[in-house]
Amino acid sequence: MLVSWTWLSRYLDLSMSHEALADALSLSGLNHEETLDKAGEIVIDLEVTSNRGDCLSHIGVAREISVLYDKLLQLPNPLPQETSLAAQEVAKVRIDYPESCSRYTARLIKGCKVKSSPAWLANSLKAIGIGAVNNIVDITNYVMMECGQPLHAFDLAKLAGPEICVRRAKAGETLEAIDHKSYLLDASMCVIADAKSAVAVAGVMGGASTEVSPSTRDLLIEAAIFSPMSVRQTARGLKLHSPSSFRFERRVDPAGVDWASRRACELILELAGGELLQGVLEAGTAAESKSPVVLRLSQIERILGIQVDRQIVVRILTALGCNIAEPQADPLSIVAPSWRHDLSREADMIEEIARIHGYDKIPENSPISVVPSARRDWDHAMDKVRLVMSSAGISEAMTPSVVTESLDQAMSPWTDRSALETITPLLKGANRLRRSLLPSLLQSRADNWTAATLEANLYEISHVYLPGSGPHELPREQTNIGVVSGQDYHGMKGLVETLVNRMGCSATLSVQPTTSPGFDPLRSANITLGEHLLGYLGHIDKSLAQRWKLPSQTCVAELALDVLLQYSTLVPQFRSISPYPSIERDLNLIVAESIRWMDIESSTRAAVGHELASVQYRETYRAPEKDGANTKRLLFSVQLRRDTATLTGEEADAMIAAIIDRCTKEHGAKLLA
Amino acid sequence: MSTTIDLNGFLAALDRIQTEGLAAFASVTDASQLEAARVKYLGAKSGEFKDVEKQLGSIDKSDKRTAGMRLNEVKQALKQALDAATNNLGTAVSTHQGPLVDLTTPGTSFEIGHIHPITQTIEHLKEIMGRMGFAAAEGPEVEDPWHNFVALNISDDHPARDPLDNFYLATAAVAGGKGEWTGHLLRSQTSTVQIRVMESRRPPVRIISLGRVYRPDAADATHYPMFHQMEGLYVDTNVTMSNLKTVLRVFANNYLGEDVNIRFRPSFFPFTEPSVEVDFWWNDQWMEFGGAGMVDPAVLSAVGYDPEQVTGFAFGLGVERLCMRRHGITDIRDLYSGDIRFLYQF
């Protein structure tokens, strides 16, 4: 909202500097954007919050200044002279769409002379960025910027028939507005119409066919109230926003409609001549009186933390235009002024007192009580996860949660349901809520390679959105960690195992081949921890590698962090260290190709039980010329230990024999001689 | 018959060697000087000590014990001086053969991953607020209108619900008959988490909610349609705006590391009344920090609290702005680029 210093001075004495005024307004609710000096004319740009439509005018801002500086506000009292001819004899107004228009009034002026505005008027508008058109249009704009009530002047002679009707637009109806563009209307929109057609888009813009021109002699001056919702939707639907629509959207003063109408007519008679017909044409309901708000003085301290004296409270509220019947009572019964739609509750009154009294009066020395607040397990767990990732040389990235269709389709191991879509894309073409973090990370890896030939090893911790079964169900949001790196399958698996170990998970980690699209079917797996699916791991398939033109092998992993946390032991528990030495033995078993290490390991563990301190895989070796086709040798070491005594060589030998025996029985293994 | 040597002359020679030798060892500054001193005083063939030692045989038998003891003392003293001088020069007199190690070539590097600056900022904020008793809370990013709007006192016809200002989901019914937007959407603020916490818990409530929020802004150096918020909420029987100002001041002093002034400017948010913008005086200017206010009674009622029994304050701030200012980042888009030339700087 631009306000000019000269214009404001018409309503009160501005003895302060404009810098001091701008600061004072900022600290009381009208945020100062900038001050322009237009050839000596000071113009201040103020930001008006959406609840303060009353400040979208010079009188509104002057009223705030009068309260802040305790100055007298002097407002015009327009009483234009009327002739004896009754307006009702000439025209009528009617509302057929009361949801969009609660009140419609009009005054008629005959025999005026349209010409240029005098300098004071043209300059007033120019200072706040409004171009001069002619004296009639300029007066309607001036009064709108003076009091905040939008007005419109029709050329009475160009209206078809004697009746103005506020109605719904007809489907397919078009209107050429005064910007000389044609607008296609729909039935939700509200128009002002004569007997033949729409002549204005209600509250948004007038029509070209009835606009005031140099030949205009007779006027119909409209002052009305259009509903905020209707004006907002129409303005948005037509992509046609005006100072008028802006003010109706933020609500006008219902008691100010007639004042604005009289003020405009008074100025027209003064500057354009003519005669004002008697009376006002009106339809709809007049402003209702407001019900009082109860303010308990004790509530001021309860909310603000400071006491404010009754005299100050009464002075502030009265200066703002409130009516307090009994200033000595407690609670106070307060009737808010008609232009303040935002004052309907006790809390609203307390805010008024606070902002005028000054927030600087509120002290900063009221500490809150001390309470214990523990860090969440989740935060401790994420620290550990990030520690493992950092140690592995992998860096954290953050990428947008909403992705393009093509990115979404690349990999979706967690669900087959289609991704949720936003109506408006987040970024160009990106309207899918991602179901996996992996496509985003692969994109980042590819971007790094393209931009700087750098191999990016990245991880991200973020939500994925797994759609529910129906359209009205919120998606299941799962916090995942996704990883992309240039390691091979076993490198990535080692990372996952290290992470699981470091989190103190004692549950068994196992893998099964996965057929999830995008993964290389021979070198990828889904991962189970305990009873739950932990995630996916493996190489991306050739088509994805080609699509992203990735330079070398690329491995990915994505894990559900809530599953990981479920099996974690965040506070490690001490286990006693055995004082007895362990015996280490190496084993080299020949097995069929189909036997997996997991099979041999579990048989080994089962054969010895708790005296098996550890079993460590060493390597796989193939010597078909010696061992026969489709065989391999599995080399591994076992550590044997008893917690209560030193094992003898004979006992160890017996355990090794048991391992071999079991592996032979269960898997046909043969000890390499 | 060999001539006997006078004991006094023998001892005097030893005294001189000791004095001169110790001084010489003490004054060496490099390996060559040290070696020269060693040869001169302790040389095995013709060192000065050796020369005197050779004379021991010519000392009168009755004096031999005295002479021998002194000879030993001087030998020990010289050796200690040599050792000390050798130590002082470090290992320079090593027996290394072949080319010297270039000590100035870089050490062997090993790669440690980097943690995203937004994560670092969030951890910092959680840590500061944690010390004031605020526990962290999170919630879903896809929300229903109740949590994103209704419970926050944002009415059906409020412009904040406009589809142009929100990311509504396409599955949802978008516009009802009277312009009601009723579908699911990506949350536009983390206040949704506050509602969820209050719905599930009785006062007192003292939390910070953190996470991603989404608003349709064209991406440029200072805007991105996805960003992070931290919102604080404290509801109890006697919470005032003075408590709010105190907590924010303590926060500012903690975060900025110095004693900073703060101020409140009136503002408007549907979920707080009174509502204020909070500024910090920092680097000789007022810097916008975020919005704050006293929880609107309508919000307390919506979650089943009695506004006559409890009051509360709430505040919200953008994590990106704090992060960018702290690290001197000038383009918000860098944060979400995944570019390791950016990530490796933190």
Sign of CA dihedral B89, B91, B94, B99: negative
* Angle, vertex CA A20, rays to CA A17 and CA A26, nearest 5: 140
* Window 362-381 of A, Cβ < 8 Å to B: 362-376, 379
Does the pLDDT value for residue B303 go beyond 90? yes
Over residues B286-302, the pLDDT tens digits come to 988 899 999 999 999 99
> Would you call A478 an interface residue with chain B, using a CB distance cutoff of 8 Å?
no
- Sorted by sequence, the CB contacts under 8 Å of residue A15 that are 6+ apart come out as none
> Would you call A622 an interface residue with chain B, using a CB distance cutoff of 8 Å?
no
> What integer pLDDT is reported at residue B174 of this predicted model?
46
First-to-last alpha carbon distance for chain A, in angstroms, is 94
Look up tokens 């639907």; give the residue: A237
Look up tokens 């033109």; give the residue: A549
Q: List average pLDDT for each run of 10 residues in chain A, which is 673 residues long.
A: 96 95 94 89 94 96 96 95 94 95 96 96 95 96 97 95 92 92 94 94 94 95 95 92 95 96 97 96 88 96 96 96 94 96 95 96 92 89 97 97 96 94 92 96 95 92 93 90 96 96 93 93 95 96 91 92 96 88 93 94 93 93 92 95 90 95 95 84
C-alpha A501/C-alpha A522 separation (Å) is 26
* Tokens coding B52: 């005197």
Total CB pairs under 8 A between chain A and B:
247
Residues comprising chain A, all counted? 673
- Sorted by sequence, the CB contacts under 8 Å of residue A137 that are 6+ apart come out as A153, A212
Of B302, B114, B338, B125, nearest to B211 (Cα)? Answer: B125
Contact A142, A124 (CB under 8 A): yes
Neighbours of A464 (CB within 10 A): 25
Predicted confidence band of residue B178 (pLDDT cuts 50, 70, 90): very low
The 8-class DSSP code of residue A471 comes to T
Predicted confidence band of residue B165 (pLDDT cuts 50, 70, 90): confident
Q: Model-level pTM?
A: 0.83
Contact A373 B133 (CB under 8 A): yes
C-alpha A573/C-alpha A268 separation (Å) is 90
Which runs of consecutive H residues, i.e. helices, occur in A422-463? Answer: 438-452
Q: How far is A90 from chain B (nearest CA, A)?
A: 36
The 8-class DSSP code of residue B38 comes to H
Averaged pLDDT of chain B: 88
Count Cα neighbours of A358 within 13 Å in the Cβ-side half-sphere.
Answer: 8
- Sorted by sequence, the CB contacts under 8 Å of residue B216 that are 6+ apart come out as A424, B164, B165, B166, B167, B225
Sign of CA dihedral A215, A218, A224, A227: negative
Contact B188, B164 (CB under 8 A): no
Burial label for B103, CB within 10 Å (0-12, 13-18, 19+), is: exposed
Burial label for A569, CB within 10 Å (0-12, 13-18, 19+), is: exposed
**DSSP-assigned letters across all residues of A248-268:** HHT---GGGHHHHHHHHHHHH
C-alpha A236/C-alpha A230 separation (Å) is 10
C-alpha A468/C-alpha A466 separation (Å) is 7
Neighbours of B212 (CB within 10 A): 19
Q: Which element (helix H / strand E) includes A315?
A: helix A310-319
* Window 215-254 of A, Cβ < 8 Å to B: 228-229, 232-233, 236, 249
Residue of chain A with shortest Cα separation from B260: A364
Of A280, A2, A348, nearest to A141 (Cα)? Answer: A2
* Tokens coding B300: 């307390």
Contact A91, A156 (CB under 8 A): yes
CA A638 to chain CA centroid, nearest Å: 58
* Window 430-469 of A, Cβ < 8 Å to B: 431, 433, 440-441, 443-445, 447-448, 451-452, 454, 456-459, 462-463, 465
Q: Which element (helix H / strand E) includes B320?
A: helix B319-327
Option in A31, A351, A454 nearest B265 (CB): A31
Contact B169 A424 (CB under 8 A): no
Residue of chain A with shortest Cα separation from B204: A371
Mutate to test the interface with B, among A343, A368, A448 (most CBs of B within 10 A): A368
Q: How far is B81 from chain A (nearest CA, A)?
A: 49
Q: How far is B160 from chain A (nearest CA, A)?
A: 10
> What integer pLDDT is reported at residue A631 of this predicted model?
94
SS3 B236: strand
- Sorted by sequence, the CB contacts under 8 Å of residue B322 that are 6+ apart come out as B121, B125, B255
**DSSP-assigned letters across all residues of A131-194:** ----HHHHHHHHHHHHHS--EEEEEGGGSSSSEEEEEEPPTT-EEEBTTS-EEE--TTSEEEE-
Neighbours of A182 (CB within 10 A): 10
Of A70, A102, A47, A340, nearest to A229 (Cα)? Answer: A102
C-alpha A458/C-alpha A440 separation (Å) is 10
Sign of CA dihedral A208, A213, A217, A218: positive
SS3 A199: strand
What would the mean pLDDT of B263-282 be, rounded to a whole number? 93
Mutate to test the interface with B, among A366, A386, A462 (most CBs of B within 10 A): A366
Does the pLDDT value for residue B9 go beyond 50? yes
Q: What is the 3-state secondary structure (H, E, C) of A332-346?
A: EEEECCCCCCCCCCH
Contact B265 A371 (CB under 8 A): no
Q: Cα dist. A596→A317, A506, A629 in Å?
A: 84, 22, 16
Predicted confidence band of residue B94 (pLDDT cuts 50, 70, 90): low
C-alpha A231/C-alpha A249 separation (Å) is 6
Q: Which element (helix H / strand E) includes A246?
A: helix A243-249
- Sorted by sequence, the CB contacts under 8 Å of residue A226 that are 6+ apart come out as A100, A101, A190, A202, A203, A248
> What integer pLDDT is reported at residue B59 of this predicted model?
83
C-alpha B263/C-alpha B280 separation (Å) is 7
Percent of chain B with pLDDT over 70: 93
Contact B167 A423 (CB under 8 A): yes
> Would you call A100 an interface residue with chain B, using a CB distance cutoff of 8 Å?
no
C-alpha A173/C-alpha A96 separation (Å) is 17
Predicted confidence band of residue B258 (pLDDT cuts 50, 70, 90): confident
Contact A303 B118 (CB under 8 A): no
C-alpha A375/C-alpha B134 separation (Å) is 10
Contact B113 A52 (CB under 8 A): no
* Tokens coding A316: 């502030």
Q: What is the 3-state secondary structure (H, E, C) of B114-178?
A: CCCHHHHHHHHHHHHHHHCCCEEECCCCEECHHHHCHHHCCCCCCHHHCHHHCEEECCCCCCCCC
Could you tell me whether strands A275-278 and A92-95 are parallel, antiparallel, or unpaired per DSSP bridges?
Answer: unpaired
Contact A76, A263 (CB under 8 A): yes
For A11-20, B4-13, B102-111, which range has the lowest pLDDT when averaged over its residues? B4-13
> What integer pLDDT is reported at residue B177 of this predicted model?
40
Q: Which amino acid is at B201?
A: R
Contact A449, A455 (CB under 8 A): yes
Count Cα neighbours of B272 within 13 Å in the Cβ-side half-sphere.
Answer: 29
SS3 A284: strand
> What integer pLDDT is reported at residue A669 of this predicted model?
94
C-alpha A265/C-alpha A82 separation (Å) is 10
Predicted confidence band of residue B260 (pLDDT cuts 50, 70, 90): confident
C-alpha A367/C-alpha A647 separation (Å) is 65
Q: Which element (helix H / strand E) includes A66?
A: helix A58-69
> What integer pLDDT is reported at residue B45 of this predicted model?
80
Contact B174 A391 (CB under 8 A): no
Residue of chain B with shortest Cα separation from A361: B242
Does the pLDDT value for residue B181 go beyond 70? no
Q: Which element (helix H / strand E) includes B278?
A: strand B272-282
Count Cα neighbours of A126 within 13 Å in the Cβ-side half-sphere.
Answer: 14
Contacts of A299 in chain B (CB under 8 A): none
Burial label for A447, CB within 10 Å (0-12, 13-18, 19+), is: middle
Contact A302, B311 (CB under 8 A): yes
> What integer pLDDT is reported at residue A467 of this predicted model?
93
